[in-house]
């Protein structure tokens, strides 16, 4: 923790878990055909959405890396959804075995207020926006458990001027929260063909496991159910050749192999599935009728 000049506490930049997002964005940029000299995104999709903001560093990683990979943020609004009071209660039947006794996955776990030592919402909001480090006028935080904060549906979208997502980051860990977030984005038309969805709490290796021996849980179960309910077709971006660390985001720990092996050398390595988080582009939706 650290104090700013006004005496407010905020989280010191910790980039130990953010390379997953850099590698995901590199796959997205490559798939879009973007280059370091192309600063105009040709897709009719604009905004970045994250469900599960915590202290804001995940959004910071996306927004700092985008222009460095040829994706302009000039017309982007960042939307962050979180209770900022920790996890809601979840049935153990939906939790992976390693999470059933982990306090971070229990009610009240991963609590932004406790992590940042700020109980007043206005002070907490200011600190999280500062951590995100993006244009404060285009950084919008929506507070509340999703069953409450998303209840307005399309009325919320219209009232706040939300636009279709270029990128949706599902980092809310739990099955119920993930399904609520995905359903809201699809029912309101914010998740549209062409949008990319990133799942933070899986790696590609475990994502691909057969449900026969490894029943789907948490974000993976939510994805599977939403895919069936809405008749979705996806294009997975599941491979990446690592060319070395991305310049300009030195606070993020980047390495060529699993573990904390930092490198500044040029490399050309196909990363293992355990090094990559799932990224999927929505191709079509058979039953999406925004209301």
Q: What is the DSSP letter of 214?
A: S
Position 3 in a domain: no
Position 9 in a domain: no
SS3 251: coil
pLDDT at 44: 58
| 261 class by beta-carbon count within 10 Å (0-12 exposed, 13-18 middle, 19+ buried) | exposed
Position 68 in a domain: yes
Position 4 in a domain: no
- 141 phi/psi in degrees, rounded to 5: -105, 130
Alpha-carbon distance of 148 to 60, in angstroms, equals: 26
pLDDT at 97: 62
Vertex 79 angle, CA 158 and 144, to 5°: 85
pLDDT at 5: 38
Position 1 in a domain: no
Q: Can you give the CATH number for the domain in which 274 is found?
A: 3.40.50
Low-confidence ranges of the chain (pLDDT < 70): 1-13, 34-44, 88, 90, 92-100, 102-103, 105, 108-110, 256-267, 289-291
Position 229 in a domain: yes
pLDDT at 37: 42
Position 5 in a domain: no
Q: How many domains does the chain have?
A: 1
Position 181 in a domain: yes
pLDDT at 57: 94
pLDDT at 256: 53
pLDDT at 35: 39
pLDDT at 148: 95
b/e burial code for range 222-239 (CB count within 10 A of at least 16 → b): bbebbbeebebeeeebee
Write the secondary structure of 174-211 as one string of H (helix), E (strand) and C (coil).
CHHHHHHHHHHHHHCCCCCCCCEEEECCCCHHHHCCCC
pTM metric for this prediction? 0.88
Write the secondary structure of 259-277 as one string of H (helix), E (strand) and C (coil).
CCCECCCCCCEECCHHHCC
Domain with 128, as residue range(s), is 14-285
SS3 171: coil
């Amino acid at each position: 923790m650290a104090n700013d000049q006004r005496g407010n506490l905020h989280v010191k930049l910790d980039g130990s878990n953010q390379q997953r997002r850099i590698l995901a964005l590199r796959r997205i940029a490559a798939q879009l055909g973007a280059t370091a000299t192309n600063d105009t995104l040709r897709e009719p999709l604009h905004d970045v959405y994250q469900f599960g903001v915590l202290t804001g560093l995940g959004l910071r990683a996306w927004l700092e890396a985008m222009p460095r990979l040829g994706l302009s943020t000039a017309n982007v609004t960042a939307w962050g959804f979180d209770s900022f009071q920790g996890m809601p209660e979840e049935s153990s039947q939906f939790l992976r075995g390693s999470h059933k006794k982990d306090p971070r996955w229990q009610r009240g776990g991963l609590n932004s207020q406790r992590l940042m030592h700020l109980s007043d919402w206005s002070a907490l909001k200011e600190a999280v926006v500062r951590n995100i480090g993006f244009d404060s006028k285009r950084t919008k935080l929506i507070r509340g458990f999703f069953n409450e904060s998303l209840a307005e549906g399309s009325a919320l979208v219209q009232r706040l001027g939300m636009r279709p997502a270029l990128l949706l980051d599902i980092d809310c860990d739990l099955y119920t929260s993930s399904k609520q977030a995905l359903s809201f984005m699809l029912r309101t038309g914010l998740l549209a063909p062409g949008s990319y969805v990133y799942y933070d709490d899986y790696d590609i290796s475990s994502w691909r496991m057969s449900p026969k021996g490894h029943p789907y849980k948490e974000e993976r179960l939510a994805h599977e159910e939403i895919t069936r309910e809405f008749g979705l077709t996806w294009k997975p971006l599941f491979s990446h050749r690592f060319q070395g660390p991305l310049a300009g985001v030195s606070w993020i720990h980047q390495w060529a192999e699993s573990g904390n092996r930092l490198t500044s050398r040029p490399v050309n390595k196909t990363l293992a599935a355990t090094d990559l988080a799932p990224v999927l582009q929505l191709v079509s939706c058979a039953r999406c009728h925004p209301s």
